[in-house]
Structure 1
Amino acid sequence: MENIKEKLLSGELVPFIGMGVFENTKANDGSNLPYDSDSMILALNNGRAMSDRLMYEYSRAAMSLEQRKGRDFIVQMTNHIYASKKYDLPFTYEFLKDIKPKYMIDTNVDDSSCKVYEDVEHFMITGISRITADYDRFVVYKYDPDAKEYSVISKEELNDTLPILFKPMGCMQPDMNFIISDADFVDWLTEAMGGYALPPFLKEYKKDKSYMFLGVDFSRDTFRMVAHEITLGLKDGFVVTKKDELTKKENKFVDMHNLEVIKDNSDAFLKSML
């Protein structure tokens, strides 16, 4: 655990952020931001629980809502969860904002990680799905801090001269592209396995790095598969989790990827680094 800040700054250590970092975040109206699969389902469905089969994982519930109400509904509802509320930047992102890691992976779809880099030039890659014009399942942007806007650039322009923010599950800005329903994940993962979910530069740049998993729940197959594809070629890393016991599948993932398990709350762990 030595020199974490230096390793984040150099890109040797890559933060991999999941929904759990929102657990202690409340909106200004007193409501909770989604911080796990169940709370995301409730947010997508106006606070109402769904059947046990659909409550298994939010992507399944989102697929059901999309089939009943249309794709535009699920996109707008996902955006509404965050755009309709004001909330302080979760501590994880505040911690990272002081460092501005060389490379960061954020699987949340709000714009908190964009705020980490809001005052510096950076590249952002967002995931997309279910398009027919191309195999690539990503869009590459470059951010201008003076104009405070993102512009689309070609994938060949991506390099490591600026920090890289990778949001594989999409983002609210600059365009609402979300990997949220089962169909989205199936499409994205299928193309990821074919090599089309990451720009060519990132495929090589990500290799032989260490990863710091914060707020990521590996108890469901979907996010284990997402993490596996994104970190192919990793060296090692660690998972910060407050769970007392990991499932058999979680332990298998940890062992396969040479990860260390740190039993702690993400906020408490990062505060110990200060």
Structure 2
Amino acid sequence: MNDSVMKKILAELGTGALVPCLGPGVLHGVVDLFSGLPMPADSDSLILAMTGGQAMAPRLMYEFPRAAMHLENKKGRSFIERFLTQTYGGDNWTPSPMHRWLASLNLRYVIDCNRDTQLQLAYAGRQHTLIVGAARLTGTPYRFDLYQFDGEHYDSIELGEVDSDLPVLFKPLGTPSPHPNYVASDADFVDYITELMGGFAIPAWIKLQRRNKRYLFLGMRFNRDTERMVMSDMIHDAAPNAGWVLIADPSPKERKFCERKQLQLIEADWSELFAHAMNPAIEPA
């Protein structure tokens, strides 16, 4: 990545002009403290973790939601929820320097499309609002849960109780903390994306604040419809120049998506930007 481009991105990020959107790639390097095994984050890793290392049929290996739907039909929804909570809910993972760096920037709004708790742990020293995506709920049209962190623990809150001065962490695909809730299987995504498009999966105050925002996609791929559809609605009302996407080896589908959404594609890994942020004096490769 060009040195001037990195400086420009970091400068905009530091002023709060860019909203980071985190994908599975940013969890690279996070490992189990006891086994040393990497945290399963991308689609293939999650499927293999869910099946105990056993590969599934190619049509199911295509993406995690499809594989999760297959096992949900066989073993029940509780199996998927239990697997994700056991995977991400413990304190056995090494802390992520990337997430701690983002937290140090005192950002007002971060979208985290992973189901782990690294970002929440990085923000544990300050008050914040947590938005957790939800699916297949009954009794409410909304597809999110709201929590406020007071510096020690989370409390469930209603829309009218939101403190708009607090930074916001948006976990659209769920988290094990404070209460396990996930968007995971095909059925979850069908419901969630439908309500996302209908306006019921994003709180009203976020819809107002996100107008003309710009975004920085880190560790996220756009080869599958699921990711493209979710993020298209997440960045609705973005500025005409919608931001940046860092992908070292973009596919034709990803190039087309970025062009359509007016996102500037940078052919570099997120780790290059992070390395420069940690040591601005380094020479780019």
Q: Please state which band the TM-score falls in when normalised by the shorter chain.
A: over 0.9
The Cα offsets for residues 129-148 of structure 1, whole Å up to 9 and x where unpaired, read as 10111110001111011xx1
1:69 aligned to which of 59, 71, 75: 75
Please give the alpha-carbon distance, in whole angstroms, between the structure 2 residues aligned to 1:131 and 1:143: 23
Q: TM-score, normalised by structure 1?
A: 0.93
2:203 corresponds to 1:199: yes
Task: Tell whether the 8 Å contact from 2:147 to 2:157 is kept in structure 1 after alignment.
Answer: yes
The Cα offsets for residues 11-65 of structure 1, whole Å up to 9 and x where unpaired, read as 3210000111122222121112113211111111111110000000000000011
2:132 corresponds to 1:126: yes
The Cα offsets for residues 103-159 of structure 1, whole Å up to 9 and x where unpaired, read as 0000111111101211011101001110111110001111011xx111111113335
Task: Tell whether the 8 Å contact from 2:41 to 2:114 is kept in structure 1 after alignment.
Answer: no
Query: Counterpart in 2 of 1:32?
Result: 38
Query: Counterpart in 1 of 2:255?
Result: 251
Query: Counterpart in 2 of 1:271?
Result: 275
Shift of residue 83, structure 1, vs aligned partner: 3.0
Question: What are the equivalent positions in structure 2 for 1:110-259 lying under 5 Å apart?
Answer: 110-145=116-151, 148-235=152-239, 236-243=242-249, 245-247=250-252, 249-259=253-263
Tell me the SS of whatever aligns to 2:277: coil
Please give the alpha-carbon distance, in whole angstroms, between the structure 1 residues aligned to 2:266 and 2:205: 31
Please give the alpha-carbon distance, in whole angstroms, between the structure 2 residues aligned to 1:42 and 1:100: 36
Aligned residues: 270
Shift of residue 91, structure 1, vs aligned partner: 3.0
Shift of residue 3, structure 1, vs aligned partner: 5.7
Gapped runs of 5+ residues in structure 2? 279-285
Superposed CA RMSD in Å reads: 1.6
Tell me the SS of whatever aligns to 2:55: coil
Please give the alpha-carbon distance, in whole angstroms, between the structure 2 residues aligned to 1:157 and 1:136: 16
Shift of residue 195, structure 1, vs aligned partner: 0.4
Query: Counterpart in 1 of 2:26?
Result: 21
The Cα offsets for residues 86-113 of structure 1, whole Å up to 9 and x where unpaired, read as 1222232122122131100001111111
Aligned-residue identity in percent: 37
Task: Tell whether the 8 Å contact from 1:140 to 1:154 is kept in structure 2 after alignment.
Answer: yes
Task: Tell whether the 8 Å contact from 1:25 to 1:90 is kept in structure 2 after alignment.
Answer: yes
Query: Counterpart in 2 of 1:12?
Result: 17
Please give the alpha-carbon distance, in whole angstroms, between the structure 2 residues aligned to 1:251 and 1:8: 23
Q: Residues 194 and 23 from structure 1, CA distance in 2 versus in 1: closer, same or farther, beyond 3 angstroms?
A: same
Q: Residues 18 and 174 from structure 1, CA distance in 2 versus in 1: closer, same or farther, beyond 3 angstroms?
A: same
Please give the alpha-carbon distance, in whole angstroms, between the structure 1 residues aligned to 2:31 and 2:57: 26
Q: TM-score, normalised by structure 2?
A: 0.90
The Cα offsets for residues 154-200 of structure 1, whole Å up to 9 and x where unpaired, read as 11333531101111111111110000100001100011111000111
Please give the alpha-carbon distance, in whole angstroms, between the structure 2 residues aligned to 1:8 and 1:164: 15
Gapped runs of 5+ residues in structure 1? none
Q: Residues 208 and 6 from structure 1, CA distance in 2 versus in 1: closer, same or farther, beyond 3 angstroms?
A: same
Q: Which moved more, 1:158-167 or 1:81-90?
A: 81-90
Q: Residues 10 and 134 from structure 1, CA distance in 2 versus in 1: closer, same or farther, beyond 3 angstroms?
A: farther
Shift of residue 5, structure 1, vs aligned partner: 5.2
Tell me the SS of whatever aligns to 1:41: helix
